[in-house]
Amino acid sequence: MKILVADKISPKGVAFLRQQPGFEVVEAYGSSPEKVLELVKDVHAIAVRSETKITAAVFAAAPLLKVVGRAGVGVDNVDVEAATERGVVVMNTPAGNTIATAELTFTHLLCGARPVPQAAASMKAGQWDRKSFSGIELFKKTLGVVGLGRIGGEVAKRAQAFGMRVLAYDPYLAPSRAKAMQVEAVTLDELLAQSDYITVHMPLTDDTKYMIDEAAFAKCKKGLRIFNCARGGIIKEAALLAALKSGQVAAAGLDVYEDEPLAKDSEFRTLPNVVLTPHLGASTAEAQESVGIEIAEQIADVLAGGVIRNAVNMPSIDAGALKILGPYLDLGAKLGTLVQQIAPAQIATLRITYWGKIGELDSNSVTRAIERGFLRRISGEEVNFVNAPVVLQRLGIQAEVVKSNTDSGYTDLIAVEAIAADGTSHSAQGTLTGKGNQPRIVGINGREVEVAAEGKLLVLENIDQPGMVGAVGTILGKAKVNIADMSLSRLTPGGTAYMVVRVDNEPGEAARAEIKGHPAIKLAKFVQL
């Protein structure tokens, strides 16, 4: 079997692959897109870091391809959807850079407190200037950690060792988990108002993009020091520049940017109170060796027919089982992400119930698909079929699986329920229909609905009164949003009704505000499946 190592990984990882019987390894670093298309015609596996893009065209040109391994966390350079359509496993190494990124973050924190890089540059320029490089201490200061996952947790430990008070904002983190880590769980506004230092450790999603913007900086203490070694775009760069110039932010440290590489004429390069590094989060010898060896081992396992580890697009089941379970995996993932978007941020229990023949199959992989779907917009690229239960546990969420023998009215039915600590719940039910086993949503929050489980949905709860369909349709039409499908549901005339509208494109802010502001509409959620 032929393996293309398209980007430079640890030599030990390459050596491991060469030692496996029956493997031919081709190293082709820095190849052009055209060259990659030529090289992949007879390869069974591809190993990459972040440089080489594995597009739909690459998958189309590689009929023998079984697996793509990313030595690192992010899979932005791999078309995962195209891989899934062709049955190609895409794997990453989510834990390999945890310590490296945490240590780089703390390096930035120290450089934000004590201007060591600036003082070093001054010394090399022949100066002896002690007055210009005075700093402040970390001891007894307050650090706000936005996102308390693996890396955020490691940063918090180091801050505690320096005698810092640690606040944490993570809307999905259970209070018990925060208490166990000896940090104070607070709201984002409380963190902004109280922190002397802020570091962000969230994935970049629709919810976290520009999480720290002009309004956020206005809520902070004057003289804040802020750092981003997670993903460019969590902090709005234009807002940060303005805050640095005004003195609202005293210092910043950035390892990631909205557009990479950072433009040569970027204004950040001219500011003396900003320390910049070129996306070095995982750039330690130990991290690179770890992820290089790990991805080599994972690729070898897949090609040898062994266990699939850290797959981002499919569970570890064989091809025969995948053919049977594939439609259920798709349905489960969509139910999971639907429930996450209609439920409150903080829940205590995720309950999954199966009816019918799906309960007789090995539904563990479907459970993992549901959990991964639920976490997709929370944990981003880090979550996969292998680590989804661990990520839920880290957030303090208990997972429950029930196989029911009662009559659901369907041949197969899956229900996903998110239950808050106070007992309130939000749920969705789905089944497969038609010859193609198409996923369909048949229930939301206890109401019967009927809508395809795909695309973009508006989930509305409203007072059951005449004209509601027309009112919503008029608002969407005015906003140039086309309706693809609609389902209506009510329990009693004149009570409350549910309206699920599948749309071709996302309504703008003005349209959403108008819908939410309608006096008869009690709940409005926009959901992306």
Residues annotated as catalytic (active site), given as ranges: 231, 260, 279
Q: Residue 216 is inside which H or E element, if any?
A: helix 214-218
What secondary structure does DSSP assign to 228-267, as a single string? E-S-TTSB-HHHHHHHHHHTSEEEEEES--SSSSPPTT-G
Q: What are the beta bridge partners of residue 47?
A: 5, 69
What is the CB-side half-sphere exposure of residue 323 using CA atoms within 13 A?
A: 2
Report whether 484 contacts 502 (CB < 8 A): yes
Taking the C-alpha atoms of residue 273 and residue 3, their distance in angstroms, rounded to an integer, is 46
Report whether 93 contacts 295 (CB < 8 A): yes
Strand 197-200 to 224-228 pairing: parallel
Close Cβ partners of 331 (under 8 Å, ≥ 6 residues apart): 414, 430, 431, 432, 439, 453
Report whether 189 contacts 212 (CB < 8 A): no
126 φ/ψ angles, rounded to the nearest 5 degrees: 90, 10
Q: What are the beta bridge partners of residue 419?
A: 349, 425
CA 247 to chain centre: 32
Which tokens belong to 277? 């590094």
Taking the C-alpha atoms of residue 455 and residue 351, their distance in angstroms, rounded to an integer, is 24
Length of the chain: 529
What secondary structure does DSSP assign to 304-331, as a single string? TT----SBSS--S--HHHHHHHHHHHHH
DSSP state of 221: P
Close Cβ partners of 80 (under 8 Å, ≥ 6 residues apart): 90, 312, 313
Beta-carbon count within 10 A of 132 CB: 11
